[in-house]
Structure 1
Amino acid sequence: MIRLENISKQNGNHLLFIETSASLLKGEKAGLVGPNGAGKTTLFRMITGEEEPDEGRVAVDRGVTIGYFSQDVGEMAGRSAVAEVMDGAGPVSEVAAELKALETAMADPDRMDEMDEIVMRYGEVQGRFEELDGYALEGRAREVLAGLSFSEAMMDGDVGALSGGWKMRVALARILLMRPDAMLLDEPSNHLDLESLIWLEGFLKGYEGALLMTSHDREFMNRIVSKVVEIDGGSLNTYSGDYEFYEQQRALNEKQQQAQFERQQAMLAKEIKFIERFKARASHAAQVQSRVKKLEKIEKVEPPRRRQTIVFEFQPAPRSGEDVVSLKNVHKSYGARSIYEGLNFQVRRKERWCVMGVNGAGKSTLLKLIAGTAEPDTGSVTQGGSVKMGYFAQHAMDLLDGERTIFETLEDSFPQAGQGSLRALAGCFGFSGDDVEKRCRVLSGGEKARLVMAKMLYDPPNFLVLDEPTNHLDMATKEMLIQALSQFEGSMLFVSHDRRFLAALSNRVLELTPEGIHQYGGGYSEYVARTGHEAPGLHE
């Protein structure tokens, strides 16, 4: 269906692909993986024809339609979200436009003499529209938008009034409604809440076309793909199986390659030792020559490429009292909308609460009340003795000064700290060498998130309040954060749509629903087992 044949591609001085091949067959669902900057987006753009390979070719079977969702959604304004989504539905939207134009022509008295042809053409176009299930299009568009958590008002409102994250969902809905033969999805799980993510998972499982996607959400990727294409040092390596299988296979391959490399190095060392020892002796000249020739012919085994991994290490935090924070009879409204009416909630030492709830249930509001960035209308929020809080807010990344470098940002926060200690801190969060001189305005979302975390964790808190901490992090960084937080001795309260993060770190669940607030002992996995659903908005 789609074949990449011996492609090579260079970006500036950076070699992305070197004479490498891969394919996507009809109905296959594949994950595309590789470190940041490896060329995942370039690969998508070559398949859609937006970029050409320098050598080799990209072959797409005749008549195959491709839908491409990228993070760059462009401008949207002046139409409703429904109209915007329907407009992207491929051939059917063109037929709908012609149908509309013919209806206008039939009502135009100046075109009476053409009426026979217009009516005849109208019949043909209408037949084609019915064939493409055009009359069901608006219903399907609304269904997709509802799956992505749009309310009726948002569907019918001007798409220009939506935030960047919601516009992304509109762009994604366009591709899903189009139902092309092949979908290329670049990070579709970004900006989605848990309910939308689970809905999308179900949609993609039922989709019959071919799928190639990237995602930093391990659980999402694992449940959908049955093949993984990895970009590694200019090559495309294909693994048959889900993401979990790919990881195991990759680790096994690395282990085998390391063993092979070590065996060859030992053999080479032995041969070189023999040559060095006997090269001056005439009696061994023939043997030495034959061994030199043998060495020249040997194909060298490369050691496996080590992926750079970041290791976060928490300094031990001072111990807090048993009662960390207590909310008593808290009421909170925004305008006419009541969020909490008489909320009672308590966090005790070493408890790790994850907060679950649909959009607008008040998850971020709860975190703000506890962090002290919002006040309750009535009721009290009391912090316990010796509590030292670290708060990661979704907007914290917008507060970084774009003109300051990474190093200056850390220095501003910790003027007493030595240069060496701040460089070590930056290194822990993946900023090594000259990286610390980058200005904040050029950082990616993931880099900004890591910098904010570095600031938060340098002087260790004993109570972490985290609002979607993994939003911009790649899989490797997420894994490191999970490893570090699982060693954290203090208490935690967090919101996340990453199921791996939820399952690995929570030991309590607070569920906010319109019917009321429920507290569950045991972590997220127990919550799923007990309720039968992975998020409050979904009842199986």
Structure 2
Amino acid sequence: MIRLDKITKQNGRQLVFIEASAALQRGEKVGLVGPNGAGKTTLFRMIIGQEQPDEGQVSADRGITIGYFSQDVGEMAGRSVVTEVMDGAGPVSAVAAELAELGAALADPDRADEMDALVERYGEVQARFEELDGYALEGRAREVLDGLSFSQEMMEGDVGALSGGWKMRVALARILLMRPDVMLLDEPSNHLDLESLIWLESFLKAYDGALLMTSHDREFMNRIVTKVIEIDGGALTTFSGDYAFYEEQRKLNEAQQQAQFERQQAMLAKEIAFIERFKARASHAAQVQSRVKKLDKIERVEPPRRRQSVAFEFQPAPRSGDDVVMLKGVHKRYGSRTIYEGLDFSVRRRERWCVMGINGAGKSTLLKLVTGTTTPDDGSVTVGGSVKLGYFAQHAMDLLDGDRTVFQTLEEAFPQAGQGSLRALAGCFGFSGDDVEKRCRVLSGGEKARLVMALMLYDPPNFLVLDEPTNHLDMGTKEMLIAALGAYEGTMLFVSHDRHFLGALSNRVLEVTPEGIHQYGGGYTEYVARTGQEAPGLRS
């Protein structure tokens, strides 16, 4: 359906693609992977014609429809959410708009002399609308929005009143409702809660068109894709299989290439040693010349490109008391809405609680109560002795001083630390070389999240409270964070929609539901095995 044939593309000084080729066939579900900045978004933009390759060709079968979801959703305002979504449904939305215009014209007394032509055209357009299943369009739009966790009230509300994250969901819903022949999805799993993520997973599995997507969610990617295209060093390499197979295959390929490289280096060293030893002897001149010619003809094996990976190690956190935080008889309301009524909950040293619950159940509110960011209407929240608390919240990224550089931000937070120590910290969180001189205002969401994380973890607290810490983080940074937190000896309370993160780090589950609070011993993996569901409130 879509073919990339020997494409070369340069952005500024960076060679993004060098004679790279790949194809997307009908019905395939393909994951597009590669380090940040490798060219994934550039590839999407070339497929839809927003950019052209410098050399080579990008071609698509004639007549196919392509839907592209990107992180740049543009302006949305002045219409209801459901209308906004229906407007993106491809040909049927244009027919629906004409049908509405004709309906208004038929009711306009000033156009009575055109009535016969209007009635005839209305019949034609109505027939086309029925053919495109237009009367079911609104129902389908509401079904998709419901799957992405929109309430009925939100569906009717002005799309302009939504936050950026919810507008992303509207943009995603437009593409899903369109059901094009080819879907290009650039990070569709960002900004979704776990329930919406699992719904989207089911939707994409059942979708019969071709899919090319990127995602920083390992579990989500692994369950959907059956082929992986990797961008690395300007080349496109295709792997048949799911994401886990790709990871194993890449490791195997790297090991084989490293072994080939080492064998060749040993052979070259031996030949060069012979040449150096006998080049001055006339009796060995023929042999030396023969070996020099042989070396000139050998095609050199390159060592495998090493993915930049860093490890972060916690300094030992001071020991807290056994009782870390206690909530007794906590009541919390927002207006007429009751979030908690008589909540009793306690966290003890070295417990790692993940908090589960549908949107609006009160997960973030619980974290705010524990950290003192909000106060209970009634009841008490008591933090135990010697507890040093670190809180990662989404709004923390908005509090960074835009005029300061990454390095100045770290320096201001830790004035006693040496430059080498702070540069090492910055490197662990993906800020190497000139990246430390970037001003905070130009940082991406992922870079801001990494900087806030670095600020919190350098002088480690013994009680970490994390609200969606993996939002915006790429797979490499997530793996580093999971490894670091796995070795952390303090206490944790966290909310996350990343199932890999949940399974790797939790040893307790707090489930917040409208019917009440449920506590489970054992972590997320045991919770799934016990309840038979991956998130509370999943529709069966």
Same fold (TM over 0.5): yes
Partner of 2:410: 410
Partner of 2:10: 10
Partner of 1:53: 53
1:426-460 CA distance string (max 9 Å, x none) = 22222223322221111111111111111111111
In the alignment, does 2:370 pair up with 1:370?
Answer: yes
Instruction: Give 1:502 deviation, angstroms.
Output: 0.3
Partner of 1:535: 535
Question: Quick one: distance in 1 between partners of 2:221 and 2:476?
Answer: 14
What secondary structure sits across from 1:510 in the alignment?
A: strand
Instruction: Give 1:420 deviation, angstroms.
Output: 2.5
Question: Which residue identity lines up with residue 427 of structure 2 in the other structure?
Answer: G
Question: Quick one: distance in 2 between partners of 1:413 and 1:167?
Answer: 34
1:327-368 CA distance string (max 9 Å, x none) = 111111111111111000000111000000111111111111
Partner of 2:340: 340
Question: Quick one: distance in 2 between partners of 1:518 and 1:249?
Answer: 41
User: Once the two structures are aligned, what percentage of the paired residues are identical?
Assistant: 83
Instruction: Give 1:289 deviation, angstroms.
Output: 1.4
1:33-112 to 2 correspondence within 5 Å?
A: 33-112=33-112
Question: Quick one: distance in 1 between partners of 2:64 and 2:160?
Answer: 32
Question: Quick one: distance in 2 between partners of 1:113 and 1:162?
Answer: 44
Partner of 1:421: 421
Which sits farther off after the overlay, 269-278 or 37-46? 269-278
1:445-484 to 2 correspondence within 5 Å?
A: 445-484=445-484
Question: Quick one: distance in 1 between partners of 2:465 and 2:110?
Answer: 69
Question: Which residue identity lines up with residue 48 of structure 1 in the other structure?
Answer: I
Q: Which runs of 5+ in 2 are unaligned?
A: none
Q: Is the 8 A contact 1:533 1:539 kept in 2?
A: no
Question: Quick one: distance in 1 between partners of 2:205 and 2:424?
Answer: 44
Partner of 2:155: 155
Q: Is the 8 A contact 1:496 1:502 kept in 2?
A: yes
Instruction: Give 1:127 deviation, angstroms.
Output: 1.6
1:179-238 CA distance string (max 9 Å, x none) = 000000000000000011001000000000000000000000000000000001000000
Question: Quick one: distance in 2 between partners of 1:431 and 1:186?
Answer: 23
Which sits farther off after the overlay, 126-135 or 425-434? 425-434
TM-score by length of 1: 0.98
Partner of 2:264: 264
Question: Quick one: distance in 2 between partners of 1:487 and 1:225?
Answer: 31
Which sits farther off after the overlay, 268-277 or 492-501? 268-277
Which sits farther off after the overlay, 516-525 or 105-114? 105-114
Question: Quick one: distance in 1 between partners of 2:327 and 2:104?
Answer: 62
Instruction: Give 1:521 deviation, angstroms.
Output: 0.3
Question: Quick one: distance in 2 between partners of 1:418 and 1:298?
Answer: 48
Instruction: Give 1:421 deviation, angstroms.
Output: 2.2
Instruction: Give 1:317 deviation, angstroms.
Output: 1.0
Q: Is the 8 A contact 1:313 1:428 kept in 2?
A: no
Partner of 2:293: 293
Instruction: Give 1:539 deviation, angstroms.
Output: 4.7
Q: Is the 8 A contact 1:406 1:439 kept in 2?
A: yes
Question: Quick one: distance in 1 between partners of 2:110 and 2:413?
Answer: 74
Question: Quick one: distance in 2 between partners of 1:494 and 1:242?
Answer: 29
Question: Quick one: distance in 1 between partners of 2:324 and 2:226?
Answer: 45
1:48-84 CA distance string (max 9 Å, x none) = 0011110011110001000000000000000000110
Q: Is the 8 A contact 1:532 1:539 kept in 2?
A: no
Question: Quick one: distance in 2 between partners of 1:368 and 1:255?
Answer: 47
In the alignment, does 2:296 pair up with 1:309?
Answer: no
Question: Quick one: distance in 2 between partners of 1:323 and 1:109?
Answer: 77
Question: Quick one: distance in 2 between partners of 1:373 and 1:309?
Answer: 35
Equivalenced residues, count: 540
What secondary structure sits across from 1:390 in the alignment?
A: strand
Question: Quick one: distance in 2 between partners of 1:388 and 1:341?
Answer: 28
Instruction: Give 1:255 deviation, angstroms.
Output: 0.2
Which sits farther off after the overlay, 335-344 or 106-115? 106-115
TM-score by length of 2: 0.98
Partner of 1:396: 396
Question: Quick one: distance in 2 between partners of 1:347 and 1:356?
Answer: 16
What secondary structure sits across from 1:538 in the alignment?
A: coil
1:143-197 CA distance string (max 9 Å, x none) = 1011000011110111000000000100000000000000000000000000110
Q: Which runs of 5+ in 1 are unaligned?
A: none
1:506-521 to 2 correspondence within 5 Å?
A: 506-521=506-521
In the alignment, does 2:176 pair up with 1:168?
Answer: no
1:265-286 CA distance string (max 9 Å, x none) = 1111111111111212222222
Question: Which residue identity lines up with residue 236 of structure 1 in the other structure?
Answer: L
